[in-house]
Amino acid sequence: MKKQISAVLSALLAVAMLTQCTKNETASTETSAAADRAPAAKNDLVIGISQEFENMNPLIMTMSATSYMYRMVGRTLVTMDANGKWYPQLAKAIPSLENGTAKIVDVGGKKKIVATWEILPNAQWNDGTPITCADFAFALKVAAAPTVSVGEKETFTQVEKIDADPANPKKCTFTYEKAKWDFYALAQFYPLPKHLEESVFNKYSKQKEGYEKNSNYTKNPTMKGLYNGPYVISEVKLGDHVTFTPNAKFYGPQPKIQKIIVKLIPNTGTLEANLRSGTIDMISTLGLSFDEALSFEKKVKAEHLPYVVTFTPSITYEHIDLNLENPILKDLRVRKALLTGLNRQDLMKALFEGKQEAALHSISPKDPWYTEDPKKITLYPYSKRAAGKLLDEAGWKMGADGYRVKDGKKLSLQFMTTAGNKTRELVQVYLQDQYKQLGIEIVTKNEPARVFFGETMKKRKYGAMAMYAWVSSPENNPRSTFHTSSIPTEKNGWSGQNNMAWSNPENDKLLDALDLEFDAKKRVELAHKILKHYTDDVPVLPLYYRSDVSVVPTYLKNYRPTGHQFAETNDVEKWELAGAKLN
Amino acid sequence: MSTYILRRLIQTCIVIVILSYVCFYLMTLMPGDPVDMMISSNPKITAADVTRLRSLYGLDQPAYVRYGHWVSDIVKGDLGYSRTYRVPVTELIGPRLTSTFILSLTALGFSLLIAIPLGIFSALRPGTKTDYIVNFFSFAGISIPSFWLGIVCIIVFAVWLPLLPAGGTQTVGAQNMGFWADVLDRAKYLVLPVLSLSLQQIGRFVRFTRSAMLEALRHDFIRTAKAKGLPRQVIIWRHAFRNALIPLITILALSISSVFSGAIITETVFAYQGVGKLTYDSIVGNDFNVAMVSFIISVAMVLLMNLVADLLYGVADPRISYK
């Protein structure tokens, strides 16, 4: 009731302020922009994001913004650093076959892995309860329950069972369902505080989505004991902001910033104004679009603003899928001509001022599997003449109107992407012009992202070319985009992302073998063989690897964007406001 | 009168039920469902995951079955669960509805406060300089796109003259600073969105008031009243304005009915936690439960406000009666 009264009074006051505003123009500037934050914020940081977030149950969350924030409050056994290297977080060390902490066992003719994970002795929940194997086993039990809507279940169910050492509840034996080399990559296998969540699960596990609706993460997200990271959540307002304060029980060094607020500003157009007015101190990688960042960087330089605009090469791969069921694109020579006639270097300079890197294939330079060795993969340097020759060989002859024809049919390709994405639409126009010079007509047809991904791409209804991005992580098996079994069909519920319908039995074998190869060197060789097929068959036109952009104040130190899905908040405790001139 | 109201209320309920099914069905026809959204953001989701999730969410059932489940939950008082935010709809929509109500009603009240006197003032001086100036600003107000005005307001009042916050609903932690500090803080955050929303409304209301008043002032009874020597204020307010009220009540009722629907653009530009943006996001994100509840509120408000307008016609004009 008090809240309602306060809201009504605020409304009246707002009207009063509006009617009096002309008189107030000379009013004190002490009510400065920065004053819209709580007073005397000497050591706080307000981060602006433009993407929505959901409740922070680590098993249920699916949004990037939630994951970005959760890494401030929740840690798990391992994670990946900005260089793409795995390192232990809650675990003492990463188990490996080499040091004997993991071994391959044969159970009934099936190869499995048994690994020993030891949790840090001082790792605890923020109510002081130690984190033990039981918390991981409980997370597995919840994730496996049919009534809980965990998105990618295999993240958890790849572990068959978790046993604790009777003498040490922090020493856990994980038995994995399959013997896969990346068994230790459990960066999304978060523990759940069994002492708080078990009673909820027991009570509601029989109801559809009963657990997630009644979990403490939903009902009482600031409850003590739900988090184990350097920060805890002290306030959540869905759709507005989340406040983080240091966790005194954190196992690592105490964070240096006393309060972090992540504030949602859904309109990217007003992010800059919010930054300049002091409403936010920085814009995270989930904020500005690339073109907005480029434009703001110019202003930073011209006006000597106290910000740094960071462009971090990421593993997000922007590309054009070629529909291999299209009669024109079935011809490999046409696909090769499209790639040879594409001047990617010039595109990067013209549109991105060289701040995004041209792609050779699907694996980014950040990935240990990356190669640009012409002995291992096929490269397609730009050559208009070579592209024209390939098209001539394919029977597409230049017509009088400047377009190529074959059997009386014009060489015309439909090119689709997400409508309203300024960067993609610019690339589309650029390519349309380049291909026109080759005698190829490009007919653009763009759709809202929801229709494009929800219907067109899902059911492979695009005519010839479709531009969008693939997001993955380093050393990721590209099975879901390259394997024949990943071609979306009605039979498999339109799952998988091999939207090109690329089928190469040799490549399928390599993809199957990749998961089971424990020798790192041989694994790289396998990855290169896969890339060889990929660059030979040209099912996709590689465009560029996206850069993650963020804007940080010059006083923020030790901030290191990662460029992959394990966000920079992974080491938020290292961030420092050196000589910060705050309000 | 009570029979009339009862009949209209029954009609309202029937219309809500029919429209809710139509809306639900149309939403099922939109491409993509919550599971498709998950697939596009996570290529590792397997065919087994897809089948399991579709069954868990009931997406494998026909629209009428899903609608039936939804209605039975609503009847039990369960508004459902947001699949986007992973919280019960009641928890999500309640505070946003209050915020939107405060924003829209304040903007409406402020607009009426300015527009009605200005419209009357202008109507009493047709063809004069004052009338032209009022008309000019009214058209300007109507024509300015609210997203542009919002951004300009932020640049002027938050960046250049740092007087007001650029966006949000409330300062983080302000609710713990005491009652009056909380009130003042919330009011500060309301000023720019209210200003941005009001300018358009003021323009519209000025135009309606002016034309309704001009129409009323042309009637014979006004001439008679003047001939009788009635005071000017009595002629304007008791005779002319009362007759000009009928069209104004219609416009006002429609404006009040949209109070709960929210102002998507203003809410987005000012990062204001309102129901308008929530509704838009829930439709785009296929968050059925949130979208349906927002839709029902909007439909119910339009229908109820029309009923209120019909009843007010009788109050404004005694010649109108309800049987």
DSSP label at residue A224: T
What is the rounded distance in angstroms from the CA atom of residue B251 to the CA atom of residue A411? 56
Q: What is the pLDDT of residue A120?
A: 97
Tell whether B195 lies on the interface with A, counting CB pairs under 8 A: yes
- Count each helix (H run) and each strand (E run) in chain B, helices first: 14, 2
List of residues 6+ apart from A299 with CB closer than 8 A: A305
Which residue among A8, A11, A492 sits closest to B47, beta carbon to beta carbon?
A: A492
Cα dist. B10→A134, A213, B309 in Å? 57, 34, 17
Nearest chain A Cα distance for residue B277, angstroms: 9
Which residues does chain A have within 8 Å of residue B40's beta carbon, measured at their own beta carbons?
453-454, 457-458
CB contact under 8 A, B45 and A151: yes
Most confident range (mean pLDDT) of A347-351, A488-492, B287-291 is A347-351
Chain B residues 72-91 within an 8 A CB cutoff of chain A = 81, 84-88
Mean confidence (pLDDT) of chain A = 89
**3-state secondary structure at position A389:** helix
Chain A residue numbers with beta carbons less than 8 Å from the beta carbon of B39 are 458, 494-495, 497
Contacts of B195 in chain A (CB under 8 A): 18
How far, in Å, CA of A7 to CA of A287, rounded?
30
CA separation for the pair A271, B155 (Å, rounded): 11
B103 min Cα distance to partner chain A (Å):
7
Verify whether the Cβ–Cβ distance B172 to A33 is below 8 Å. no
Residues facing A556 on adjacent strands: A577
Q: Exposed, middle or buried by CB within 10 Å (0-12, 13-18, 19+), for B185?
A: buried
Contacts of A262 in chain B (CB under 8 A): none
Model confidence band, residue A25 (pLDDT cutoffs 50, 70, 90) = very low
Walk along chain B (323 residues) and give the pLDDT tens digit of each residue.
788 888 888 988 899 999 999 989 988 888 777 787 777 667 677 778 888 888 888 888 898 999 999 999 888 888 888 888 888 898 888 888 888 888 988 999 999 999 999 999 999 999 999 999 999 999 999 898 888 898 899 999 988 888 898 888 888 777 777 788 888 888 999 999 999 989 888 999 999 999 999 999 999 999 999 999 999 999 998 889 988 888 888 888 888 877 776 688 888 888 888 888 888 888 877 788 898 988 888 888 888 888 888 888 887 777 777 66
pLDDT at A569: 95
Report the C-alpha gap between B293 and B90 in whole angstroms.
9
8 Å CB contact of A454 and B187: no
The token pair at B124 is 């009493």
**Cα separation of A241 and A262, whole Å?**
5
Please check whether residue B200 is in contact with residue A27, taking contact to mean a CB–CB distance below 8 angstroms: no
| Integer angstrom CA distances of residue A130 from A120, A127, A251, A323, B182 | 10, 9, 10, 53, 39
Rounded Cα distance between A335 and A396, Å, is 13
> Over 80: is that where the pLDDT of A492 sits?
no
Portion 114-153 of B in contact with A at CB < 8 A: 150-151
Task: Judge: B271–A274 Cβ closer than 8 Å, yes or no.
Answer: yes
Contact yes or no for B173 and A209 at CB 8 A:
no
Question: Residues A66-88: what's their mean pLDDT?
Answer: 93
Show Cβ contacts of residue A520 under 8 Å, excluding neighbours closer than 6 positions. Answer: none
DSSP state of A323: -
Q: State whether residue B229 sits within 8 Å of chain A by CB.
A: no
Q: Report the run of H or E that residue B312 belongs to, with start and end.
A: helix B288-316
- Residue B194 has its nearest CB partner, among A18, A208, A276, at A18
Q: Is B154–A273 a contact, with Cβ atoms under 8 angstroms apart?
A: yes
- Which chain B residue is nearest to residue A482, measuring alpha carbons? B43
Among A390, A340, A406, smallest CA distance to A398 is for A406
| Bridge partner list, A49 | A264
What is the reported pLDDT for B323?
63
* Closest chain A CA to residue B275: A239
Among A228, A229, A274, smallest CA distance to A569 is for A229
Task: Flag whether residue A516 sits within 8 Å of chain B, measured between CB atoms.
Answer: no
Kindly indicate the confidence band of residue A497, based on its pLDDT and cuts at 50, 70 and 90: confident
Contact with chain A for residue B45, Cβ under 8 A: yes
Q: pLDDT digit string (tens) for B145-184?
A: 888 898 899 999 988 888 898 888 888 777 777 788 888 8
Query: What is the CB neighbour count within 10 angstroms for residue B311?
Result: 17
With residues binned 3-state (H G I as helix, E B as strand, rest as coil), the percentages for chain A, rounded to 5, are: 35, 20, 45
Higher pLDDT, A103 or A209: A103
pLDDT at site A23: 38
Task: Calculate mean pLDDT across residues A11-20.
Answer: 57
Length, in residues, of chain A: 583
Q: Which residues of B touch A472 (CB under 8 A)?
A: 43
**In which residue are the tokens 């913004």 written?**
A65
> Is B51 an interface residue toward A (CB < 8 Å)?
yes
Residue in A6, A15, A36 closest to B179 by CB: A6
For residue A242, what is the nearest residue in chain B, using CA coordinates?
B172
Q: Is B194 on the interface with A (CB under 8 A)?
A: yes
pTM of the model: 0.84
Q: In terms of pLDDT, which residue wins out, A474 or A199?
A: A199
Check if B155 contacts A (Cβ < 8 Å). Answer: yes
User: Which chain A residue lies closest to B281 (C-alpha atoms)?
Assistant: A52
Cβ of B189 under 8 Å from any chain A Cβ? yes
Q: What is the pLDDT of residues A30-58, one digit of tens each?
A: 333 443 444 444 589 999 999 888 889 99
**pLDDT band at residue A166 using 50, 70 and 90 as cut-offs:** very high
Distance from CA of B95 to the nearest CA of A (A): 10
Distance CA A229, CA A249 (A): 9
pLDDT tens column, A420-461:
888 999 999 999 999 999 999 999 999 988 788 878 888 899
| Chain B interface includes A8 (CB < 8 A) | yes
The string of pLDDT tens digits covering residues A250-269 is: 999 999 999 999 999 988 88
A101 and chain B in contact, CB less than 8 A: no
ipTM score: 0.79
Average pLDDT over residues A288-297: 92
Pick from A527, A531, A477, A544: nearest CA to A317 = A544
DSSP per-residue string spanning B206-269: HHHHHHHHHHHHTSHHHHHHHHTT--HHHIIIIIIIHHHHHHHHHHHHHHHHTTTT--HHHHHH
Q: Assess contact for A177 and A162: CB atoms under 8 A.
A: no
- Give percent of chain A with pLDDT exceeding 70: 92
Q: Which residues does chain B have within 8 Å of residue A16's beta carbon, measured at their own beta carbons?
A: 187
- CA R_g for chain B: 24
Judged by CB atoms closer than 8 Å, whether chains meet at B31 and A451 is answered as yes
Chain A residues within 8 A of B151 when measuring between CB atoms: 269-270, 273
Residue A110, number of CB atoms within 10 A of its CB: 10
CB pairs under 8 A between A and B: 263
Please say whether the beta carbons of A335 and A322 come within 8 A: yes
Per-residue pLDDT, A28: 36
Minimal Cα distance from A447: which residue of B?
B31
